[in-house]
Amino acid sequence: MTRYAITLEFDGAPFFGLQRQSHGPSVQQCVEEAVLAITGEEVRMHSAGRTDSGVHALGMVSHVDIEKDFDPFRLSEALNARLRPDPIAVIHCEVKPDDWHARFSCIGRAYEYRIVNRRAPLTLERGKAWHIPRPLDAEAMHAAAQHLVGLHDFTTFRSVHCQANDPVKTLDRLDVSREGDHVLVRAEARSFLHHQVRSMVGTLSLVGLGQWEVDHVREVLEAKDRQQLGLNAPPDGLYFVRALYPC
């Protein structure tokens, strides 16, 4: 039995999330069915993170255990051939030790949220970014974001469906920057609560629009009350960027 780590890029729009679902297609289902078609083996894919319906990935790390021996490059080529036309690509594949785990060995996760801030509607980025036509103050959003960096109880920014045992998390980075018409929010932590990134982005957007003061973000964080949340950003603009592992 060999453990293969695969790095996935995917468009989340057609899927009900990364994890296998009983009520619709998932990225996990597509990859597992591709492995079955290639090897004749039923496998279970484990991943560094979870993504909701409509959330994308640039570098999701997952693993599968396969009895047959494959060259990693040839396995990635075979998987990509079988995955077509689904918008999923294996962009890297390598063999890992048996005690390595895509989820439990991961020591950090990074997300990026993309906002297109312009009057004109989206064309090429429709479904790939959040369109906000009114001007955003990215500097104010960044200042407000710093209230969330560090060790906090993130109950306010946690989905009611979150299954995590503890709402306390350490947010290592939350930066907001403008690049032309794009406002980018970059978040890094060891792990995140369900909807945490989208909830933080939605709240920061209210600061950017001038509806909330910068310090009000600290107040809603300290309230530890989901009812105080300003807004949950849509999934379209959220990307799982990378998973970090010990060297």
pLDDT band of 232, cuts 50, 70, 90: very high
State mean pLDDT over 218-222. 96
pLDDT band of 199, cuts 50, 70, 90: very high
How far apart are alpha carbons 118 and 20 in whole angstroms?
36
List, as own/partner pairs, every contact residues 84-91 make where C-beta atoms lie below 8 angstroms and the sequence separation is at least 24, other chains included: 86/14, 86/30, 87/10, 87/11, 87/13, 87/14, 88/8, 88/9, 88/10, 88/11, 88/27, 88/30, 88/31, 89/8, 89/9, 89/10, 90/6, 90/7, 90/8, 91/7, 91/8, 91/9, 91/59
pLDDT at 57 over 80: yes
State mean pLDDT over 131-160. 97
How far apart are alpha carbons 73 and 64 in whole angstroms?
15
Q: Which CATH number fits domain 108-244: 3.30.420.40, 3.20.190.10, 3.40.30.10, 3.30.70.660?
A: 3.30.70.660
How far apart are alpha carbons 146 and 242 in whole angstroms?
22
Whose CA is closest to 15, among 53, 48, 47?
53
Query: Which residue numbers are catalytic?
Result: 52
* Residue 165 Cα distances to 36, 127, 160, 192, 193, angstroms: 34, 32, 12, 12, 10
State mean pLDDT over 162-180. 93
State mean pLDDT over 200-208. 98
Find all residues with CB under 8 Å of 167, minimum gap 6, and list them.
153, 154, 155, 158, 193, 224
Q: Mind listing the pLDDT tens digit for each residue in 87-128?
A: 999 999 999 999 999 999 999 999 999 999 999 999 999 999
pLDDT band of 162, cuts 50, 70, 90: confident
Cα–chain center distance at 92: 18
pLDDT at 161 over 80: no
State mean pLDDT over 165-192. 97
pLDDT at 163 over 80: no
Torsion of CA 145, 149, 153, 155, to 10 degrees: 30
What residue spans define the domains of the chain? 2-96, 108-244
pLDDT score of 22 = 80
Q: Which CATH number fits domain 2-96: 3.40.50.300, 3.30.70.580, 3.40.190.10, 3.30.300.30?
A: 3.30.70.580
Taking the alpha carbons of 225, 226, 231, 232 in that order, is the dihedral positive or negative? positive
State mean pLDDT over 218-246. 95
pLDDT score of 148 = 98
Q: Specify the pTM.
A: 0.95
State mean pLDDT over 57-77. 97
